[in-house]
Amino acid sequence: MIETIYLIILIYFFLGGIGFYLINRKKDPATARKSYTKFATYFFIINLLFFSIVLKPVVFSSLAIVIIIAGFLELLKLFGKDGFKQKRFFLVALIVFISLAAGFYFFSRLQKELILFSFLVLSIFDSFSQITGQLWGRRKLFPSISPAKTVGGLIGGAIVAMVSSVLLSKLYGGTLFMSVLLAVGIVVFAFAGDLAASFYKRKFNEKDFGNSIPGHGGFLDRFDSLIAGGAWVMFSVYILNF
């Protein structure tokens, strides 16, 4: 089963690679190189998280702690760069982050099959929303907050994620209906988490949270949607009894 899932991941990456080629073939070499660096880094991250979940779940929990701590420090760094002026906004953002981060941590301690299902759906949505958005996205969703987000990207990523949730529904033993419902929540929370992170950056006039991850920026630039999506899954399990 795991081998089949990993083969599916490789197929998705192959399709994603074709998409990146189509996107970058007319761009200047420097921009294309940066895009391919982002793609290669993402491939490494997905493999790291995938095998940490499958082979040693405690490693994934440890990585979750690292992501949470790094995210907190990045929030604090931008607040500090602004001279600690927007205290009320930072306090609200911190409360939201702590709530989602707590949910994400408890998510990292769920059964590995459910973690893997959620991680795959979220990663597929995240990657294909970017690819379809750059290929076919025309209408901007929130240009003043996140200029790269388009209607086409959101719809394209959501469709691929929903179809994937059906294909992966037997992975954790849930019904088809519950798998799709869980996937819908993952998509909504992932998108909202990404948008909230972008709003925080714009509030402090920054493009990225940092430069610790090549091609992506900081930890929150890469893992904001994972934190929010994971929090939704934890809420679904403990509150909604999925």
pLDDT at residue 240 tops 80 = no
Q: What's the rounded Cα separation, in Å, for the pair 207 and 201?
A: 6
Q: Please check the confidence at residue 39 and state whether its pLDDT lies above 90.
A: no
The confidence score (pLDDT) of residue 105 equals 97
Position 241 pLDDT exceeds 80: no
**Cβ(49)–Cβ(63) below 8 Å:** yes
**What's the average model confidence in pLDDT over 214-235?**
94
pLDDT at residue 190 is higher than 80: yes
Residue 78 CA to residue 98 CA, distance in Å, equals: 17
The 10s digit of each residue's pLDDT in 71-83 is 999 999 999 998 9
**Confidence band of 187 (pLDDT split at 50, 70, 90):** very high
Per-residue model confidence (pLDDT) at position 191: 96
Nearest to 224 by CA among 204, 199, 206: 199
* pLDDT value at residue 119: 95
Buried b (16+ CB within 10 A) or exposed e, 130-161: bbbbbeebeebbeeebbeebbebbbebbbebb
Give pLDDT, residue 132: 87
CA 3 to chain centre: 23
What is the three-class DSSP state of 72? helix
User: Which among 146, 131, 161 is positioned nearest to 200, based on CA atoms?
Assistant: 146
Over pLDDT 70: what percentage of the chain? Answer: 100
Task: Report the share of the chain in percent with pLDDT over 90.
Answer: 61
User: What band does 70 get if pLDDT is binned at 50, 70 and 90?
Assistant: very high
pLDDT of residue 27: 82
In this prediction, residue 94 carries a pLDDT of: 97
- pTM of the entire predicted model: 0.93
pLDDT of residue 131: 85
Q: What is the pLDDT of residues 101-128, one digit of tens each?
A: 999 999 999 999 999 999 999 999 998 9
Mean pLDDT across the chain:
91
| b/e map 55-86, b = 16+ CB within 10 Å | eebeebbebbeebbebbbebbeebbeeeeeee
pLDDT at 82: 87
Is the pLDDT confidence value at 202 over 90? yes
